[in-house]
Amino acid sequence: MGCFNRWKSYRGACQVNVKPEENNPLFKLSGGFSLQKRYILKGRADMDDNNINQPDEQDIGQNPEQSENESNSGKTRGYQIICAKLGLSMCVYFICRLLAGWALLQFANIAGSLNETFFSLLSSLILIIIVYIIPVIITALIFKSFNNYKGKYRKLYKKPKRLARAMGTFPASFGFGYGIALLTLLVSYLISRFSSGHTYIEDLLRPTVIEPSSNLAGVFAMVFMLVVIAPVLEEFWVRGIMFDALKPFGTGMAIILTSIIFGLMHGSLYMLFYTTAYGFALGYIRYATGSLFIVTILHAIINSIAAGTLLLSSLTELTNDENRLINTIYIIYILAVFAMIIIGIIVFLSKIPAIKRFKIENSWTQTGPWRKAALFFVSAPVILMMILAFNEISGGLITNLFIGG
């Protein structure tokens, strides 16, 4: 019993005198392992105050600035590796897009005798596998996400504590994205209005429209891709794997880079701007809620608006504009969408002061944002990614030069 009491007094003395604060160089040099535990493990609980505040022999002579520089250098190297992995995964994606176009063309040549409905369903399946599933799996393997997320999927898709408040961000997000889309249309109009003749940029800025079809099976397959497949896989891919890989190097940079990647992956100059804007909004919400659940739902809602337009326009074409009920519903739907855009823009503008007050943590303050961006864009895989993205956005300009020439 006496030994136990002496042990408690020794332990209490060490706890009182040791203050491992984060700003204390000794605490940094100890790697977060408190000096109190060191001395107890070494049987030195009888050290006096002066001895407790002295570093171990192996710590003497180490410069805190040198240690911090080495830590920053290691983090820079880790960031460069993550950037290279991001570029590599996006290179895989753009190559898969090229392969999907070639595969659909070959499938159309050999499946001419197939039923139109069956052909549309098989084409959609080929598109889903090559453009979505394969790149996501390869990206997950590159980042070892299956191991990192093992047992954590429920936490990754947890419902936010304030679900209603999180859903309330939809009007502002919707208005922000479509506000950028309207600005893009305005720029396209000004180019066509003041330019002499038809321009190449005007073609690239032309809105990407999914053509309506009289084949309802193909339409419903496209709606399913827009509302279910794209939101689930793209959010897990971009704001799951990529966002979590970049977050240790600064949440703000994670939001910016994943937004740019999200915009590029849509493969259209017109869509680049407003999908990047949506990427900013969804990345901001992903950080604020810490969950993929809400951003997946919001992504699905945004895509469902385009899907509704596609479905109603296809039904109108199927009835040859003779069904007054469908035509009326279509007109009301378009007017409602425009009203939502106007309301969303107003809500977004009213939210700007609150957005400015929201502070985003930066876990890597030693390196500024411009240097982080430079390190990202000078990475060899990222440069190749940008070349492939330019080829996709320009309508295959590079592939036409090499293959067509």
pLDDT at position 182, please?
A: 87
For residues 220 and 184, membership in a common domain is answered with yes
Q: Tell me how far apart the alpha carbons of residues 360 and 249 are, in angstroms, rounded to a whole number.
A: 12
DSSP 342-398: HHHHHHHHHHHHHHHHPPPP-S-TTS-HHHHHHHHHTSHHHHHHHHHHHHHHTTSHH
pLDDT at position 109, please?
A: 84
Is residue 321 situated within a structural domain? yes
Contact 363, 251 (CB under 8 A): yes
Is residue 367 situated within a structural domain? yes
**What percentage of the chain exceeds 90 in pLDDT?**
36
Mean pLDDT for 7-25 is 42
Give pLDDT tens digits for 121-140.
888 899 999 999 999 999 99
Is residue 1 situated within a structural domain? no
For residues 52 and 117, membership in a common domain is answered with no
Mean pLDDT for 331-355 is 89
State which residues form the domain around 139. 78-404
Is residue 333 situated within a structural domain? yes
Mean pLDDT for 158-178 is 86
Q: How confident is the model at residue 202 (pLDDT cuts 50, 70, 90)?
A: low
Distance of CA 378 to the CA centre of its chain: 20
Q: Tell me the whole-structure pTM to 2 decimals.
A: 0.79
Q: How confident is the model at residue 235 (pLDDT cuts 50, 70, 90)?
A: very high
Mean pLDDT for 23-46 is 36
Name the average pLDDT for the chain. Answer: 79
Choice between 79 and 1, residue whose per-residue pLDDT is larger:
79
Choice between 71 and 229, residue whose per-residue pLDDT is larger:
229
* Structural domain total, the chain: 2
